[in-house]
Structure 1
């Protein structure tokens, strides 16, 4: 598997995680404002396990959720990237390839500044360019208007809703909206810009 790449945008850098980033990731995962659309905040142990899963994904696939930092002021401000979803967790009809999700998470001081959109566009370009993925999906809670609004600005299309398989029946966050973007649609939109 190739070494994980660093991706650069006008203001941002998406880079592989370093051991020294664990503290920043743990702080973000423990912040109720950051995690308000997730079932719970993460303890330090849970956050470290999350970072270990990110590292294992990079080792297996060469991409994943990158550490997000500003180019002029290094230091983790969030995460953004792509992750293959395990087949057994897919509650919707998926294409022949294992589905790949795009996701993002930013520390509160860096929200509402266009960083999530810039980072997501960088990740999509890598996914549809060098990785040649056929489709990228995203999902969020119906009440997370900022997130699904960003999905729509990225050119993703709502493709229904589903019950999240990792949440129990009756959980208030079980229902999720599903968004999809096909490579051919992304190429067409990119050429039109």
Structure 2
């Protein structure tokens, strides 16, 4: 089942196409993009990730979209919703996640796309909450989570179970946004 496509003022959140794979590989091999991940991906690893994303969409009816600008088609990043892929005190749960090519950073594009994805999560999927997590050093992602209205309880921070015990990226901060809070924020902003 394909993803419902979403549109914002500047962006198209759309389904994957075979032509996206080369640019997705560039995204996943970019040192800046992958700074807070355990490592960069080669083409084979990137294609395998794209296949996992596609399987998630087929199995769940939601997932990660390709982001492209209306005036210039082509992948500039990815953003979407996915089931958390590991066991933890806060799972099962759905997270929102993103990656953009550096040329598209600091333009509000991730915020714009994330707001559309959250609207879909809470209005179409009727999710009770959406999570996000990152490493303490990833201040840009934390700032985006906060702009979206997500909140962190330091007591919920965790050690990522898929990373080795002494890995420097193992400590993670957990943010969450509950549907009721999202609705209040929408009403306060006059968007409902």
| TM-score, normalization by structure 1 | 0.94
SS of aligned partner of 1:179: strand
Q: Does 1:104 align with 2:98?
A: yes
Aligned to 1:185: 181
Backbone CA RMSD of aligned residues: 1.0
SS of the equivalent of 2:157 reads: strand
How far residue 61 of structure 1 moved from its aligned partner, in angstroms, is 1.2
Instruction: Report how far residue 62 of structure 1 moved.
Output: 1.5
In structure 1, what is the equivalent of residue 123 of structure 2? 129
8 A Cα contact 2:25 2:43, kept in partner: yes
Is it true that 1:156 corresponds to 2:142 in the alignment?
no
Structure 1 residue runs without a partner (length 5+): none
Match of 2:134 in 1: 140
How far apart are the structure 1 equivalents of 2:27 and 2:5?
Answer: 21
- Alignment gaps of 5+ in structure 2: none
Map residues 1-193 of structure 1 onto 2, 5 A cutoff: 2-86=1-85, 89-94=86-91, 98-159=92-153, 160-193=156-189
Rounded to whole Å, the distance in 2 between the matches of 1:29 and 1:52 is 14
C-alpha contact (below 8 Å) 1:91/1:163 kept by paired residues: no
Aligned residues between the structures: 187
